[in-house]
């Protein structure tokens, strides 16, 4: 006798639910592919959001729990209200957030994702129906670390929390990891009463919270883009664990996509910095007491009129953007300068370092907001061979990513890190508010070279005055 899906208790709704998850996964893949290019990134967001929306709707109406029951009307209303409230709040925040605060927003997003996954694991661990104890504990630990670590990252990026780096932090973190592992093994290997298990799960939560804080606290500013990417990966992994708890393929697939994409990006950024991930985490690059500061010599300033003449009569100009450009909100006037120079027959390009700014792709997003064509954004490896033929390199708010100490100073903490070879160009103009050190906390020898001229002041003001000077030539 032939066995049908109906005989196995599978309904048409179950089949449609699984098909919707498959479609959602396809939408996620299309979205990720489109988001790999700035010109199609907006479409990619639409495709990925559509996939998530489809998964949420079908889960709300068709997902069955372990007992075979659909979601109750009361719980469904709570979910719908939460979605509406979250959607409204997210829209308001997204519209009001400044580009300079985008890394902080990403950290908050990572934190909320980690917290949601941790709460799911915490609630479901004591559920008698839940048979995924290991996955649940992993979701609790990873989600909690992602939450507390992301909140510390937010505080550091926003200037509310400073670096705390000492040798003892490394050993303390290793101790906390050992405690987490020991508690998990103890909970899984031995039978305990439900009260004991719940108590231990809360102890595990507290230890993971402390580890997340101490894990990010020593990380210096120059490594923050890598850390944000890593925390994003942990958030995705935690979401996948929550998906396994509920046997929800959409959560599993979405979490896997986020986790794998974040992991790949983290490794690529480490490669771009010529450092291992372990070195980033343990070495606390850019943390307290970074490097040996030497007497570099004298700096030379340039006037606005001289800068205007130098740029106007150049053939090739390269602009190196950094976080200072974002802080000054000068991307629009910078693009105005580019158009003005191109009108005079000058070839202008932007040199993009992989870790410039405070999050992965920060400069790309910043310049895209000012409608700078993507073809003008040239990656570090592609622009460096052309730097000796560049008449003027204009460094706007960047510091560590153009520091020649990465090549010639073995005592520097950035030694061995690939940089944009601004020092190889015929002339360099550095726009800075003052002689403050970069986020890595070390002196930049580029500022003292014979070919370098400093143009002090707020980047937006300096660029506006420079544009006015060029127009008058």
Question: Which residue is it, tokens 């979910």?
Answer: 79
Q: Collapse the DSSP code of 348 into the 3-class scheme (helix H, G, I; strand E, B; otherwise coil) and give the result.
A: strand
Of the residues 7, 191, 381, 400, only one is catalytic, namely 400
Tokens of 307: 């800068």
Residue 319: closest CA among 330, 301, 334, 303:
334
- Rg, C-alpha atoms of the chain: 26
Q: Residue 247 region, left (φ>0) first, then alpha (ψ -120 to 50), else beta? A: left
Reply yes or no on whether 400 is catalytic: yes
d(CA 455, CA 263): 39
d(CA 117, CA 230): 16
Please report the DSSP string for 230-279 in residue order. Answer: HHHHHHHHHHHHHHHHHT-HHHHHHHHHHHHHHHHHHHHHHHHTT--HHH
Sign of the C-alpha dihedral, residues 20, 26, 30, 36?
positive
d(CA 454, CA 302): 6
Q: How far is CA 176 from the centre of its chain?
A: 25
Q: Which residues are catalytic?
A: 400
């Amino acid at each position: 006798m032939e066995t049908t899906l109906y005989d196995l208790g599978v309904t048409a709704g179950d089949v449609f639910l699984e098909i919707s998850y498959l479609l959602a996964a396809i939408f996620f893949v299309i979205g990720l592919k489109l988001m790999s290019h700035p010109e199609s990134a907006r479409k990619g967001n639409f495709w990925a959001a559509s996939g998530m929306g489809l998964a949420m709707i079908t889960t709300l109406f068709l997902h069955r729990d372990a007992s075979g029951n659909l979601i109750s009307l009361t719980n469904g209303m709570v979910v719908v209200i939460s979605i509406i409230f979250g959607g409204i709040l997210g829209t308001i925040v997204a519209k009001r957030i400044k580009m300079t605060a985008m890394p902080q927003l990403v950290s908050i997003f990572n934190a909320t994702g980690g917290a949601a996954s941790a709460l799911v694991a915490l609630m479901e661990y004591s559920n008698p129906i839940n048979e995924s104890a290991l996955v649940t504990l992993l979701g609790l630990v990873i989600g909690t670390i992602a939450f507390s670590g992301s909140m510390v990252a937010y505080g550091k990026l926003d200037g509310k929390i400073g670096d705390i780096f000492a040798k003892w932090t490394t050993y303390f973190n290793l101790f906390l990891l050992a405690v987490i592992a020991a508690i998990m093994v103890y909970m899984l290997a031995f039978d305990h009463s439900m009260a004991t298990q719940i108590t231990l799960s809360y102890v595990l939560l507290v230890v993971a919270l402390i580890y997340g804080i101490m894990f990010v606290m020593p990380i210096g500013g120059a490594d923050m883009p890598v850390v944000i990417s890593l925390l994003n990966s942990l958030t995705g992994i935690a979401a996948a664990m929550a998906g396994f708890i509920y046997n929800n393929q959409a959560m599993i697939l979405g979490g896997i996509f986020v986790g794998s994409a974040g992991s790949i990006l983290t490794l690529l950024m480490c490669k771009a910095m010529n450092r291992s991930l372990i070195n980033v985490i343990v070495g606390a690059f850019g943390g307290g007491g970074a490097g040996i500061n030497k007497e570099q010599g004298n700096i030379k300033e340039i006037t606005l009129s001289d800068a205007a003449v130098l740029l106007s009569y150049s053939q090739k100009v390269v602009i190196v953007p950094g976080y200072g450009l974002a802080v000054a909100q000068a991307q629009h006037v910078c693009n105005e300068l580019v158009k003005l120079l191109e009108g005079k027959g000058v070839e202008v390009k932007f040199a993009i370092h992989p870790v410039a700014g405070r999050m992965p792709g920060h400069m790309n997003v910043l310049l895209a907001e000012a409608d700078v064509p993507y073809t003008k954004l040239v990656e570090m490896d592609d622009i460096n061979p052309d730097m000796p033929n560049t008449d003027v390199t204009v460094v706007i708010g960047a510091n560590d990513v153009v520091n020649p100490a990465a090549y010639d100073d073995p005592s520097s903490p950035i030694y061995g890190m690939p940089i944009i070879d601004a020092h190889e160009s015929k002339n360099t103009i550095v726009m800075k508010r003052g002689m403050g050190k970069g986020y890595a906390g070390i002196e930049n020898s580029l500022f003292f070279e014979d070919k370098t001229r400093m143009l002090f002041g707020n980047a937006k003001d300096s660029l506006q005055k420079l544009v006015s000077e060029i127009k008058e030539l």
